[in-house]
């Protein structure tokens, strides 16, 4: 297997772990032996793969708004992850029609938050 030992015993943060793609990534990383922490503010759909797969049983589930920089900084500082997969997004397209500016600004903001905190934690 290509990734057989790549994630084994590694600390991984997955943002958006309650969404469709994030939940599948969390399952896969767990199967590869990673210590997975998921960050999301809610479960975006019903039904959801997150609930159906009982992901809360094997992922450290943290519920916060990813835009709360102080909480994100603290989580990254505490966990000191080897990898971060940022899948946090506005999950439903129709919401982007209601608040297009927020939708557009969310991803660059989240990326910047993680890069700033990784620089603080790693010193690089």
Cα gap 28→20, rounded to integer Å: 13
The pLDDT value given to residue 121:
65
Give mean pLDDT, residues 15-21: 91
Of 88, 37, 95, whose CA–CA distance to 67 is shortest?
Answer: 88
Tokens standing for 77? 């500082």
Mean pLDDT value across the chain: 85
Buried residues in 32-70 as b, exposed as e (16+ CB within 10 A)? bebbbbbbbbebbeeeebbeeeebeeebebbeeebeeee
pLDDT at position 69 over 70 = yes
Q: Tokens in use for 102?
A: 């927020």
pTM of this structure: 0.82
The CATH number of 11-122, from 3.20.20.70, 3.40.50.720, 3.40.309.10, 3.90.550.10, is 3.40.50.720
Domain range annotation of the chain: 11-122
State the CB neighbour count (10 A cutoff) for residue 8.
11
Whether the per-residue pLDDT at 4 is higher than 90: the answer is: no
Name the band, by pLDDT with cuts 50, 70 and 90, for residue 54: very high
């Amino acid at each position: 297997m290509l990734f057989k030992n790549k994630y084994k015993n590694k600390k991984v943060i997955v943002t958006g772990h309650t969404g469709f793609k994030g939940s599948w990534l969390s399952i896969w990383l767990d199967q590869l032996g990673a210590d997975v922490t998921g960050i999301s503010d809610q479960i975006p759909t019903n039904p959801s793969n997150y609930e159906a797969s009982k992901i809360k049983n094997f992922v450290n589930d943290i519920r916060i708004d990813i835009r709360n920089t102080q909480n994100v900084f603290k989580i990254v500082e505490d966990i000191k992850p080897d990898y971060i997969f940022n899948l946090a997004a506005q999950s439903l397209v129709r919401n982007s029609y209601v608040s297009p500016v927020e939708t557009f600004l969310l991803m660059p903001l989240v990326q910047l938050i993680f890069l700033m905190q990784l620089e603080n934690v790693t010193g690089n």
